[in-house]
């Protein structure tokens, strides 16, 4: 049986570059000032917590968040390509309003079938689950103690749906704000979701 593990599943800090609502997938956006402040807040929270490993996506916004939180423990940080956000293909970086105007039928189909619809040249959320869940299970079954994973909104929602037994059609009902924390506990072969979508401004949530 895999060892007991507590997974601190974090979404990277704020990386938005303007006030426009955009589709952001694997485009490599760095943290903005607010995002760095969110990561610093979590650095304070995790400072005295022993961590077995800090895993993150290999996109810069995830790596920056992980390294800020790690502070003097940078050797624990391990970027993994398998934890990248969903590939949005031709839609990546486009404003939602622009996609609605340029791809009206595709926009409607994604809204109706979010689990299986693939954006042009991109992934569906089912594809993302096929990539992320085996890696997540491997992580949990090979480590013990406290593990911090710095993921993305889509990646984290996939993991939470998997643990909670939710259909991917309900994926967007799971809130994942910039810099939020989820606390997941694995013990005796089963999961307990202890906290979901906790903002960086709230401290003392890992006790």
Q: Are 77 and 43 in contact (CB under 8 A)?
A: no
What does the pLDDT read at residue 27? 92
* pLDDT, mean over the chain: 93
What does the pLDDT read at residue 67? 97
What does the pLDDT read at residue 1? 44
| pLDDT reading at 63 higher than 90 | yes
Predicted TM-score of the model (pTM): 0.93
b/e sequence 164-173, b meaning 16+ C-beta within 10 Å: eeeebeebee
Q: What are the tens digits of pLDDT across the range 22-49?
A: 999 999 999 999 999 999 999 999 999 9
CATH number for the segment(s) 5-198: 3.40.50.1240
Domain spans, the chain: 5-198
The more confidently predicted of residues 81 and 189 is 81
Give the pLDDT mean for 147-174.
Answer: 96
What does the pLDDT read at residue 202? 65
């Amino acid at each position: 049986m895999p060892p007991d593990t507590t997974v601190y599943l974090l979404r990277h800090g704020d990386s938005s570059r303007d006030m426009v609502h955009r589709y952001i997938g694997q485009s490599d956006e760095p943290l903005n000032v607010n995002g760095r402040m969110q990561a610093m807040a979590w650095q304070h929270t995790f400072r005295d917590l022993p961590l077995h490993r800090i895993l993150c996506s290999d996109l810069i916004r995830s790596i920056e968040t992980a390294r800020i939180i790690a502070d003097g423990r940078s050797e624990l940080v391990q970027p993994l390509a398998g934890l990248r956000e969903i590939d949005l293909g031709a839609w990546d970086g486009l404003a939602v309003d622009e996609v609605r105007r340029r791809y009206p039928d595709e926009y409607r189909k994604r809204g109706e079938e979010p689990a299986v619809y693939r954006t042009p040249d991109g992934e569906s959320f089912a594809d993302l689950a096929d990539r992320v869940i085996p890696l997540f299970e491997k992580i949990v079954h090979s480590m013990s103690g406290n593990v911090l994973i710095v993921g993305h909104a889509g990646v984290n929602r996939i993991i939470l749906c998997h643990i909670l037994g939710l259909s991917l059609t309900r994926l967007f009902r799971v809130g994942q704000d910039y810099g939020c924390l989820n606390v997941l506990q694995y013990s005796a072969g089963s999961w307990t979701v202890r906290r979901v979508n906790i903002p960086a401004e709230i401290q003392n949530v890992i006790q």
